[in-house]
């Protein structure tokens, strides 16, 4: 992925002049996520790499205060308060817009950098992508706008399919937008969509049973934090029910999913902090426009069965178009 020299807000905030009594102390940045630490190891490694490229090493010249909600969204306000109480220079919020919303509700001074697949304008986080305004900026994956494209690619992969399943968390802020994109895309190419709502991981098994009963030819997974966190179970259920799946993040394809089209989360985490030239001594943050990482097609799964070869050949065809 072509790296863009962009968005050094986290690092530049850490480089701002500290009060005289604190100049001997190492700066602190906060890291708030709606996910768990266990499912975020690759993203944390990418975040650390981005800090390193900007000249910061955790524990040597920078401290990071991590807080993990592990899917318990109601805990985000309290966790955000804990981070703010640590007198941090900036806060990195990931795992949807909810962490950034929780932090912004408590401060309009501390710089906030988000990573989210939800449209930050629709979520009310920023005024616009080009001019965020306020104390919030970040990287917008905006996965919801790619649903029609993913459906089109899945149709090319399975041209005889007429019914496609969709896993959607109705509580996801962009769920309605995702469904609208899917329905519009389906109508354009003559497909029908069978939607299964999943609010909890316990509902995944039932969703796949419903897919099998409806005889869907394949399925898509919406870009939701809950569904991303359950990627191992989704991939296992897809194999059990022999259903090819299209995913919104490359990480799911790496976990064994058939194909994905969308941004790489580790790349997005690195983009948030890789701008060494942006490290300036300012007493106020200079917020740049929100970034949108490049999306790419990934076909990672090792296909062993002979009947899978047609999928592999069509995946290669899509990658060369």
- Tens of pLDDT along 31-86? 999 888 888 888 889 889 888 888 888 888 889 999 999 878 889 999 999 999 99
Is residue 121 pLDDT above 80, yes or no?
A: no
In tens, the pLDDT along 130-153 reads 777 788 888 877 666 788 888 998
pLDDT interval class at 318 (50, 70, 90): very low
How high is the pLDDT of residue 93? 92
Please give the distance of CA 35 from its chain centroid, rounded to a whole number: 11
In tens, the pLDDT along 76-114 reads 999 999 999 999 988 999 888 889 999 999 998 898 988
CATH number for the 9-141+265-290 domain, one of 3.10.620.30, 3.40.630.30, 3.40.50.2300, 3.40.50.300?
A: 3.40.50.2300
Is residue 10 pLDDT above 70, yes or no?
A: no
The CATH code for residues 144-262+297-319 is 3.40.50.2300
pLDDT average, residue stretch 18-24: 41
């Amino acid at each position: 992925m072509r790296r863009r020299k962009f968005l050094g807000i986290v690092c530049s905030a850490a480089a701002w002049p500290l009060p005289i009594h604190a100049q001997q102390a190492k700066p602190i940045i906060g890291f708030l996520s709606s996910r768990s630490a266990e499912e975020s190891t690759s993203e944390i490694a990418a975040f650390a790499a981005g800090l390193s490229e900007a000249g910061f090493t955790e524990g040597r010249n920078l401290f990071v205060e991590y807080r993990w909600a592990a899917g318990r969204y109601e805990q985000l306000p309290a966790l955000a308060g804990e981070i703010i109480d640590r007198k941090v220079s900036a806060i990195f919020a990931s795992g949807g817009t909810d962490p950034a919303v929780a932090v912004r509700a408590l401060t309009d001074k501390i710089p906030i950098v988000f990573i989210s697949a939800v449209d930050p304008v629709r979520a009310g986080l920023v005024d616009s992508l080009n001019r965020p305004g306020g104390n919030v900026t970040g990287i917008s994956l905006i996965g919801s706008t790619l649903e029609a494209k993913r459906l089109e690619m899945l149709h090319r992969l399975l041209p005889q399919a007429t019914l496609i399943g969709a896993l959607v968390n109705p509580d996801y802020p962009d769920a309605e937008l995702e469904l609208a994109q899917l329905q519009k895309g389906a109508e354009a190419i003559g497909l029908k969509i069978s939607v299964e709502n999943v609010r909890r991981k316990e509902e995944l098994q039932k969703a796949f049973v419903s897919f099998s009963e409806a005889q869907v030819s394949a399925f898509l997974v919406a870009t939701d934090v809950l569904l991303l966190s359950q990627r191992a179970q989704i991939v296992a259920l897809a194999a059990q029910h022999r259903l090819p799946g299209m995913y919104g993040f490359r990480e799911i394809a790496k976990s064994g999913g058939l194909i994905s089209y969308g941004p790489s989360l580790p790349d997005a985490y690195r983009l948030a902090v890789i701008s060494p030239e942006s490290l300036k001594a300012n007493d106020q943050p200079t917020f740049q426009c929100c970034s949108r990482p490049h999306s790419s097609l990934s076909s990672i799964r090792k296909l062993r069965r002979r009947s899978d070869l047609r999928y592999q050949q069509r995946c290669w065809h899509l990658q060369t178009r």
